[in-house]
Amino acid sequence: MKNLFYIFIGGGLGSVLRFLISSYTQKLWNINSFPMGTFVVNMIGCFLIGVLTSYFIRVDNYLKFLLITGFCGGFTTFSTFSAESYSLWQSGHYPILIFYVLLSVMVGLAAVYLGLQIIKN
């Protein structure tokens, strides 16, 4: 139960920081409707999850729930997607990696489209 509390707190902080950084970045670098704010947040999140995962492999405590699952999860799920993809690559599961990446992008886009169409009609 304690771990759920840390995930809850970290997720809230990550979500708020994602909004602030994304909004500020988008205003600062508005480049031909490229979603720069989201891109920057995703890349920061990928870097953070790499650093934090590397550290918490050696140290096992409650902070991994607060910072990795909670904060990084609230900040961006893209970081988790990237970390999982990297893990598949590192372990040599190349067909699964390609399938996972392509399926995630294609089904994700299709799900957004479907959701928009359902509400539109």
On the question of pLDDT at 121 being above 70, the answer is no
Q: How far apart are CA 11 and CA 101, in angstroms?
A: 24
Residues in the annotated binding site? 73, 76
Q: Tell which residue, 118, 74, 84, 76, has the closest CA to residue 104.
A: 84
Give the pair of three-digit tokens for residue 59: 């140290």
For the stretch 29-67, pLDDT in tens is: 877 767 888 889 989 999 999 999 888 888 878 899 999
Quick check: 84 and 100 in contact, CB under 8 A?
Answer: yes
Judge contact between 7 and 43, C-beta under 8 A: no
**In this predicted model, what pLDDT tens digit does every residue of 1-26 receive, in sequence order?**
899 999 999 999 999 999 999 999 98
What tens digit of pLDDT does each residue of 65-101 get?
999 999 999 998 888 889 899 999 999 999 999 999 9
Residue stretches of the annotated binding site for Na(+): 73, 76
Q: Please give the model's pTM, rounded to 2 decimal places.
A: 0.78
Q: Whose CA is closest to 85, among 34, 50, 109, 116?
A: 50
